[in-house]
Structure 1
Amino acid sequence: MRTVRARSAVVLAGATLFGPAAVPVLADTPAPSGSASAEATAGPTEAGTTFRTAAFFRQGQRATAEASTGDYLYWVFPADTGQRPTVTASVTLPESAARHGASTWRIDVYDGLRRRQPCMYGMQSRAAAQEAATVELACTLRPVRPWADTWDDDPLPGSYFVRLTVTGLPEEDLGQPFTAEIGATSVEKGGAYAGGGSLAAPLVPGATTEEAAPADTPSAVEARAPEDGWSSGWWSDRWIWTAAGGVLGALAGIGGYTLTRGAGRPSRVPPAV
């Protein structure tokens, strides 16, 4: 998100000049591609039934699918360094008269290594009463980091898989039709979660290079990347804070030297008359 990071730099520079009151603006400003206020665009109208067949959508799009209760539905979307994704799901349930009891629905999010990522907050599992028409689910992930140690499970840039299914319902209700709608948005967290390195490549399972792809089709890497490409991983708005701190430190040193020099000068005694 190069454009977003450029704007972040301007905001942080303004924070240095006008005080800390400007900082929360950056913390709560969502990325343009994942803005909750942006008009959602149409996404895929089908879902996959495995990780390999997951339907691809971009942040800001709304993906839909029709399936039968008991099916596992899969989607995949890209998330880049510094983003904190929130996945939402809305399930339109079968007619209440045709159901025999309550049902419980759940969404799980996995990274490109198929590691299930915990939710910072959000209702990722929810029970729906027999008379309920819809059920709403949400999962906010931890901010995506540019790299992590091999033993860590921090979310990394690349593909994120969403799985939706019913985890509990009367056996008589298996196979009844339902409709699902999935979406994802992100808030830019910036340098607060930056690291000292970056991955050699984003975690995009099954990705191929452009040389291996046919000349008239985009590579799998490009097809699974954000619209403006993956970030390089070296840039962080932490550089702005570092530069601003250096400038303020230099100004403070100059000011202190000036005051000290002025205090050490002998006072001038007027000449005798």
Structure 2
Amino acid sequence: MRTTRALASGLLAGLALVTSAGAATAAPSVQRTDTSSSPSAAPDGEAGPTEAGTTFRTATAVQQGQRATAEASTGDYLYWVFPADAGQRATVRAKVTLPGSAARHGASAWQIDVYDGLRRRQACMYGHQTRKAAADAASVELTCVLRTVRAWSEPWADDPLPGSYYVRLTVLDLPATDLGLPVGTELEVTSVDGGGAHDVDGSLAEPLVPGVSSVERASDDGAGQDRVSLGSEPDDGWASGWWTDRWLWTAGGGLLGALAAVFGYSLTRGNGRLSRVPPGI
């Protein structure tokens, strides 16, 4: 009976350990909700970019956690690009500071769109992807929560995969006389970890990150070319693809199975010993 009690205690302790470890790894981190207008710093201390591209090929790279700002004219297409790795569910927030109401002639509608490294438009799970600003509104804020990035997917599927993601911000509708008015823009991308529930048995050979492009530039001695990277990479690199918290559940399940087997064996052995009839009776 002493052995039985010890095995039972070990079984319960192992169950509690695995449950607490799985809960800790599967729980997503808290999402930032800071909406202050001052640019934030990246984890390595660098400030966010202060300009935006006007095409996919000239998109400005921004890391998650940075706040990018840009001054533009109403009617411009503004582009940024950020990295998203497997297991991350990214949230894109954009804010447009509008000119004074005295300079505007009516309401306007704004929209953000997100595309992956293959320039496939990614749907927003929820959020305010398109919003209308009244004629007297000082600003308009937009939000797009993407689906969790998968480590691997079928070629025909439209699932989000690890790599670069482009954000496009533009105005959809406004009075023609308001085109060209100056606006201020802010962009911030954050993400939460989806946990092992979104893990799949597979990984991409390489993330969907575009290569480099030759961009024309003007100089004093004539025209030249700059080699500009079209993609971006997380500060800590891309995930290796082999480690997930499913390993904890697998190891914990094996441990509990072994303890249950030993516990069951001890019970049957004890019952057999008690049921024996002493010789001579």
TM-score range, shorter chain: 0.7 to 0.9
Which of 62, 86, 90 is the equivalent residue of 1:57? 62
Within a 5 Å distance, the mapping from 1:244-263 to structure 2 comes to 244-263=252-271
1:65 deviates by 0.6
Q: Which letter does structure 2 place at the counterpart of 1:193? A: H
Contact 2:81/2:167 (<8 A) preserved: yes
Contact 2:26/2:245 (<8 A) preserved: no
Give me the whole-angstrom Cα distance separating, in 1, the residues matched to 2:249 and 2:125. Answer: 27
Percent identity, please: 64
Corresponding residue number in structure 2 for 1:265:
273
Which of 163, 178, 194 is the equivalent residue of 1:158? 163
Q: Secondary structure at the match of 2:17?
A: helix
Task: Give 1 or 2 for the bigger CA radius of gyration.
Answer: 2
Bigger CA drift: 234-243 or 147-156?
A: 234-243
| In the alignment, structure 1 residue 105 sits paired with structure 2 residue 110 | yes
Give me the whole-angstrom Cα distance separating, in 1, the residues matched to 2:262 and 2:15. Answer: 22
Q: Which letter does structure 1 place at the counterpart of 2:23? A: V
| In the alignment, structure 1 residue 136 sits paired with structure 2 residue 141 | yes
1:265 deviates by 2.4
1:170 deviates by 1.2
Contact 2:110/2:173 (<8 A) preserved: yes
Q: Deviations over 1:114-149 (max 9, x none)?
A: 001111111111111111111111111111111111
Give me the whole-angstrom Cα distance separating, in 1, the residues matched to 2:15 and 2:97. Answer: 45
Within a 5 Å distance, the mapping from 1:1-273 to structure 2 comes to 16-17=16-17, 19=19, 23=23, 26-30=26-30, 40-41=40-41, 42-207=47-212, 220=229, 224-267=232-275
Question: Relative to structure 1, is the Cα distance of residues 169 and 248 closer, same or farther in structure 2, using a 3 angstrom cutoff?
Answer: same
Q: Secondary structure at the match of 1:185?
A: strand
Give me the whole-angstrom Cα distance separating, in 2, the residues matched to 1:225 and 1:187. Answer: 17
Question: Structure 2: where are the runs of 5+ without partners?
Answer: 1-13, 42-46, 214-226
Corresponding residue number in structure 1 for 2:4:
none
Contact 1:15/1:21 (<8 A) preserved: no
Question: Relative to structure 1, is the Cα distance of residues 245 and 86 closer, same or farther in structure 2, using a 3 angstrom cutoff?
Answer: same
Give me the whole-angstrom Cα distance separating, in 2, the residues matched to 1:204 and 1:80. Answer: 11
Q: Deviations over 1:203-233 (max 9, x none)?
A: 111259xxxxxxxxx9949x72111111111
Q: Which letter does structure 2 place at the counterpart of 1:226? A: P
Q: Which letter does structure 2 place at the counterpart of 1:227? A: D
Q: Secondary structure at the match of 1:253?
A: helix
Q: Secondary structure at the match of 2:266?
A: helix
Bigger CA drift: 257-266 or 177-186?
A: 257-266
Give me the whole-angstrom Cα distance separating, in 1, the residues matched to 2:134 and 2:33. Answer: 28
Q: Secondary structure at the match of 2:149?
A: coil
| Runs of 4+ in structure 1 over 3 Å off | 18-22, 34-37, 218-221, 266-272
Give me the whole-angstrom Cα distance separating, in 1, the residues matched to 2:76 and 2:191. Answer: 28
1:198 deviates by 1.1
Contact 1:15/1:23 (<8 A) preserved: no
1:29 deviates by 1.2
Question: Structure 1: where are the runs of 5+ without partners?
Answer: 1-13, 209-217
Corresponding residue number in structure 2 for 1:213:
none
Give me the whole-angstrom Cα distance separating, in 1, the residues matched to 2:190 and 2:15. Answer: 26
Give me the whole-angstrom Cα distance separating, in 1, the residues matched to 2:212 and 2:153. Answer: 21
Give me the whole-angstrom Cα distance separating, in 1, the residues matched to 2:91 and 2:135. Answer: 28
Give me the whole-angstrom Cα distance separating, in 1, the residues matched to 2:196 and 2:74. Answer: 42
